[in-house]
């Protein structure tokens, strides 16, 4: 029975080597998965950050459009006030309505410029 014992030993060594190979392959695969998971995490963080920026940018553009509409209305009101005073042959510079309307236009313009700066800041990040 020495022959069969030798066969069993050879087969046992082969199985042992195969098991070691599987273990090494598994360890390498797990290492690769961990590295891949870290890469996915970093990628997900980048996507989340870009998504936040995109949402903020969209909100700012919406706010800018709203402010621009308010600016347009303020300019129209200013023009109407100047026209009414001019038609009545009054002194434009002495009327308090003109000063009030001019300040409103100036404030709306400042608000628009502030939002535009924020938009440019976010767009530079991309």
Total number of domains constituting the chain? 1
Are 115 and 63 in contact by the 8 Å Cβ rule? The answer is yes
Give the domain range for residue 14: 2-125
Q: What is the pLDDT of residues 25-48, one digit of tens each?
A: 666 656 666 666 676 677 777 777
pLDDT at 103: 87
Give the confidence band of 5 by pLDDT, cuts at 50, 70, 90.
low
What pTM value is reported for the model? Answer: 0.57
Q: What is the pLDDT of residues 58-88, one digit of tens each?
A: 888 888 888 888 888 888 888 888 888 888 8
Of all residues in the chain, what percent are helix, strand and coil, respectively (each to 5)? 95, 0, 5
> What does the DSSP 8-state code read for residue 89?
T
Nearest to 61 by CA among 123, 117, 115, 5: 115
Tell me the C-alpha distance between 106 and 55, whole Å: 28
């Amino acid at each position: 029975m020495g022959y069969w014992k030798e066969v069993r030993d050879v087969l046992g060594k082969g199985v042992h080597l195969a098991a070691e190979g599987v273990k090494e392959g598994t360890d390498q695969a797990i290492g690769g998965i961990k590295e891949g998971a870290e890469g996915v995490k970093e990628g997900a963080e980048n996507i989340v950050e870009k998504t936040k920026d995109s949402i903020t940018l969209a909100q700012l553009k919406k706010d800018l459009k709203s402010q621009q509409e308010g600016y347009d209305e303020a300019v129209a009101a200013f023009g109407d006030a100047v026209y009414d005073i001019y038609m009545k042959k009054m002194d434009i510079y002495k009327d308090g309505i003109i000063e009030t309307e001019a300040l409103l236009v100036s404030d709306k313009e400042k608000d628009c410029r502030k939002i535009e700066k924020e938009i440019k800041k976010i767009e530079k990040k991309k």
